[in-house]
Structures are given as C-alpha cells and as structure tokens.
Structure 1
Amino acid sequence: MTQRNAIFPANRHALYEAHGYSAAVRSGDLLFVSGQVGSRQDGSPEPDFALQVALAFQNLEAVLTAAGASFDDVIDVTTFHTDPDTQFGAIMPVKDKYFSAAPHPTWTAVGVNWLAGFDFEIKVIARLPEAA
C-alpha cells in the first residue's frame, strides 16, 4: 500500500482541521490537491465573488508551493461553480493570469448548487518536478 504524504501550506489550517482532510496528498510524482475555495485565514468565505476566485487561486498556489510545485506542473483542473452563466466573466481573467501559456492543462467545469457557503472551488492534479 502506498503511504499518503499529506501536504499543508503554512498558515492555512482552519478548514482542513475543522473538516479533517489534507490540502494535498503526494503519491509518487503526482500531487492530488483538494478543492481550494476563496476562504479567508479563518476559513470564512470572501463575500465578493471576484476576490473569492482570486483567493481560491492564491490558496491553490500556496498548496502547490508547499509541495515544491507551481501552476506549470498542473496537468488537470476541475472547477465548481454555483452560477456558471454569470461567473465566467470574473473567473477567466484570474485563470488566464495563472495558466497563461500553452499547452494548458485539461479543464472540467461543473455547475453545482452548493459549496458550503462558497461560489467557486478549484481542484487540481499536478506532476511534481523531479527535484521535489
């Protein structure tokens, strides 16, 4: 059985501890990152949607960094949206900032009706660099 190697970013444990899950798990050269939301340090949702999306990407970046990876190492993205029709205008500029160069990772966007008080969530799978 492969041992789970949990990864946590510094100063981001409120939601992980409250709900009992890891920010990411390394398995071999793959990193499986839990869904990241636009939460503040205390775990509460950022009420402004554009800022919530920006925070979700910043929180994702913190997890990737803690694992020795970056957005360049991301190979698969899944995002969850409470109102995709109206939200993509705010999401795409943030997405383009972090995934600016081709080839882009695969991407699946899923419309949902509940995200525990949040309106956007992003989870990824990354291949870790050999040095990690």
Structure 2
Amino acid sequence: MSHPPSSSQPSLRARLDRAGIVLSSLCLVHCLASIAVVATLGLGGQWLLAPEIHRWGLALAVVIAGVAIGWGALRHRQRTPFVVAMVGLTFMGGALAAPHGLQEAVLTIIGVVLVSIGHILNLRRAH
C-alpha cells in the first residue's frame, strides 16, 4: 500500500542530503587540515586527531545518510546511492579501527567522498 507523498517529504530529504554533503566536506577538510597542521607544525594532534571527533562524526554521518539515503531509496527504488553511501560509511568505520596516521586518513577520506557521492546520487535520483 503506497501513501501519497506529502509536500514536505522531498524537501526535508533533500535538506538532509545536502547536510550530508556538507558534513562529508567538513570531515574531508578536517582530515586534510589535521594532517597538514600536525605534520608541518606539530601542533594540535591531541585535539585534531582525537578519536571522539571521528566517532561523533561517524555517528552523525550514519544517522543523516541512513535517513536521507534510505528514505530516497524507498521513494525512487534505486539501490546505487544507498550502496555507495554504505560502502563509504564502512570505510569510515574501518578508519576508527586503524591507528592514527596516514592509513586512518586515507580510509576516512575514501569514506567521506563515497558518502558524499551517495548523497549527490540520491539528490539526482529524486528529480
């Protein structure tokens, strides 16, 4: 049984997708800036590389992607945005298990790029 969509559903989902893209972009900037600042100046490692930032970022990404992309997948019946985003979240989760350093940064960067692509695909599928 299909319910008619309310006018607020697409705009709320689209806003969540955009929030996911912004969050992914901020995470990418954080990763790159942290590497640059810690490597060149040796400053801020205890704060910039704190695991809590990564855990909270991943939790927020999971909620936003789960709602926006899951909702989108149910509406437009396309799996690709969901699969791409979930693979990205898996990379981000894997980064939490990696030791701080290049490996963690690479896994996180791959993850946030894939999550962002999932949100972009989700926005495109909705139109």
Q: TM-score, normalised by structure 2?
A: 0.31
Q: Which has the larger radius of gyration?
A: 2
Q: TM-score, normalised by structure 1?
A: 0.30
> Which structure has greater helix proportion?
2
